[in-house]
Amino acid sequence: MPHSPLRLLDGLFEQEEMESAAHRFVLGGPFGGEPVETSAERLAHFADAGGLLVETSHSYAKGQAEPAIGQWLRKNPGTLGVLTKVGHDTTGADIPLDRDTVHDHVRAALDNLGVETIDVLLYHCDDPDRPLAELADTLVGLLDAGYVRRVGASNWEPQRLSALAAELAGRGRTPVASYQFSLAEPDPALMGGSLHADRAVLDVIREHRLPLLAWSSQARGYFARTEARQLNGRPDPYDTEDNRARRDRCRELAAELGSRPETVALAWTLQQPQVWPSIGPRTTDQIDLSFHARSLALTGDQVRWLRHGR
């Protein structure tokens, strides 16, 4: 099984300015829940455009996402690095993060993906009753064994994230943080247990100088829509008065720049330091639209205006 030879991944999360902004995009999507030909086309297009990392999880698509990506990686070894998450079962429920369970899931992920080393491994959730020292030891053990190259955590409460970052710093490691983050700030009551990178989370990220993987970096298509809709049978968490005003400003600026509102919103995310936007395009055309955000060099005034309206 091939080891990813992508040299740029070695220092990826240490560099605020990459030689190509394409390297800061992370590819998500409905892998395992769509025809394999569709996944293959999107993965190849993303790689050809300069992307480096594809994002998935042990639990996505009822456990079928990793094998679907692995099918392509085996045919294209070393073309893309992979970020995956452990801590949910195939129903999406939290599981204990004891060492044996985590190691079992990592070994399964390596086999599913067809790689010798996972480029980035994240805890998909916290295990609040488990000592942080134990959770940190498990991650460092995986690093030392060569199973993973970088570790981190997703959807942890800010105090626990700060404590984990301190534990890992004491072992010479800096984790990657993974939260929802975009120009649109969601209503937390409608997020279904997932956490947004709010001020408290961002304070921890800045204090510990953590890279931020920003999932739903385009607010699940909010900036491309013109009217409210439900998401998964629930009210859209992004459809708030403040976000509607931000969407209007994106439309205004997009008209000036000859672009699209969702592309302007993604360009705003790219302007944030130490943020790696995860995108979930369904087509190659949508990948191209996302990558167009690289060409929108927003001014500091525009970045502030899009967010705050002043």
How far apart are the C-alpha atoms of 180 and 194, rounded to whole Å?
Answer: 8
pLDDT at 4 over 70: no
**Per-residue DSSP letter, 171:** T
Q: Rounded mean pLDDT of the chain? A: 91
User: What backbone torsions phi and psi does residue 24 show, to the nearest 5 degrees?
Assistant: -90, -10
Q: Find how far residue 171's CA is from the centre of its chain.
A: 24
**pLDDT for res 3:** 41
**pLDDT for res 234:** 81
**pLDDT for res 18:** 46
For residue 53, what are the β-bridge partners?
A: 26, 81
Residue 92 backbone zone (phi > 0: left; psi -120 to 50: alpha; other: beta) = left
Closest CA to 238 of 194, 200, 287, 294: 194
Answer with the residue of higher pLDDT: 299 or 230.
Answer: 299
Closest CA to 37 of 85, 75, 2: 75
pLDDT at 132 over 90: yes
pLDDT at 20 over 90: no
**pLDDT for res 8:** 53
Residue pointed to by tokens 């990178």: 197
pLDDT at 22 over 80: no
pLDDT at 10 over 80: no
Name the band, by pLDDT with cuts 50, 70 and 90, for residue 19: very low
pLDDT at 11 over 70: no
pLDDT at 7 over 70: no
Percent of the chain with pLDDT over 70: 93
What value does the mean pLDDT take over residues 61-70? Answer: 96
pLDDT at 126 over 70: yes
The answer to whether the CB of 33 falls within 8 A of the CB of 64 is yes
**pLDDT for res 229:** 81
User: What backbone torsions phi and psi does residue 96 show, to the nearest 5 degrees?
Assistant: -65, 140
Q: Among 147-161, 227-241, 293-307, which stretch is predicted with the lowest mean pLDDT?
A: 227-241
**pLDDT for res 15:** 55
pLDDT tens-digit profile of 232-284? 778 899 999 999 999 999 999 999 999 999 999 999 999 998 899 999 999 99
Name the band, by pLDDT with cuts 50, 70 and 90, for residue 150: very high
pLDDT tens-digit profile of 82-92? 999 999 998 88
- Three-state DSSP at 112 gives helix
pLDDT at 78 over 90: no
Name the band, by pLDDT with cuts 50, 70 and 90, for residue 159: very high
Element (H, E) at 251: helix 241-257
How far apart are the C-alpha atoms of 18 and 24, rounded to whole Å?
Answer: 7
**pLDDT for res 16:** 52
How far apart are the C-alpha atoms of 198 and 10, rounded to whole Å?
Answer: 28
**pLDDT for res 298:** 94
How far apart are the C-alpha atoms of 198 and 27, rounded to whole Å?
Answer: 23
**Per-residue DSSP letter, 94:** B
